[in-house]
Amino acid sequence: MRFLFVGDSMTIGRAGDCTWRYRMWQHLSSPSFPGDHEIVGPRSSLYDPAADAPVSAAYADPAFPAEARRHLAGWGEGWLHMAPVIGETVAVHRPDVLLVSLGLIDLGFYTDSGQTAANVRRFVAAARAASPRVRMVLLPVIPNVRARTDAPFAAECDRFNELLAKAIADLDEPSSPLLLAPPPRDWALDADTYDGTHPGPSGEHRLAEAFATAMHQAWGLGGPYRAR
């Protein structure tokens, strides 16, 4: 089974991070997830703040295999940016499952909740045009520090999550199922992020757990998540 991680800065990670992709790779490689798997995608780097570009290979664990570092994620990229490129990416890399964490950057800088939800639908249509049987697990926008003090932004996040759930219900198909991942369990900004947005080690585990739980409960893929 081939997996593609799609996301923004929380998914690509910065130099020195493990990333939740690493935690998910550990889960996929554990005895609770029998069978072969492969992580695919056109990119593999981390974001380097010093260069302000995705050029770092400095993962916290240098034993993270190069082939498992692949992804389609970008610092400052959202549904707006991924919808136009997901079709070609799926056609070239042939993933069976997309694990998608997007939306916060869109709502923060680019599009309102309705426009962002429209880009979700564009994304799903393009991915299916390239692979009609592709599966997708989509994470809702999770709390961040801006929502604590910016009430209109918090409301847009809540509204988008409602529209995301509706889109998934509308677009779910037996041949190409869509899942809404649960919000990360017991998410705490001060403990699970290093700056109120981006995950630290505990946050990485919680994000990976959300995706693992969705696949286990809905599709019977793998077992319960166990932090390693």
pLDDT along the chain (228 residues), means of 10: 98 98 96 89 98 98 97 98 98 98 97 98 98 98 93 97 98 98 95 97 97 96 90
Strands 46-48 and 53-56 come out as antiparallel
Q: How far is CA 59 from the centre of its chain?
A: 18
Which of 208, 186, 221 has the alpha carbon at shortest distance from 18? 208
Half-sphere exposure of 112 (CA within 13 A, CB side): 3
Tell me what pLDDT residue 35 has.
81
Q: How far is CA 94 from the centre of its chain?
A: 17
Sequence-separated (6 or more) residues with CB below 8 Å from residue 99: 3, 4, 5, 6, 24, 137, 211
Distance between CA atoms of 188 and 191, rounded to whole angstroms? 5
Tell me what pLDDT residue 37 has.
93
Here the tokens at position 208 are 């990976």
Tell me what pLDDT residue 211 has.
98
Q: Note the CATH number of domain 2-219.
A: 3.40.50.1110
Beta strands in the chain (DSSP E): 2-7, 38-40, 46-48, 53-56, 72-73, 97-101, 135-139, 178-180
Tell me what pLDDT residue 32 has.
82
Domain extent listing, the chain: 2-219
Tell me what pLDDT residue 189 has.
94
Tell me what pLDDT residue 195 has.
96
Sequence-separated (6 or more) residues with CB below 8 Å from residue 145: 189, 193, 195, 196, 197
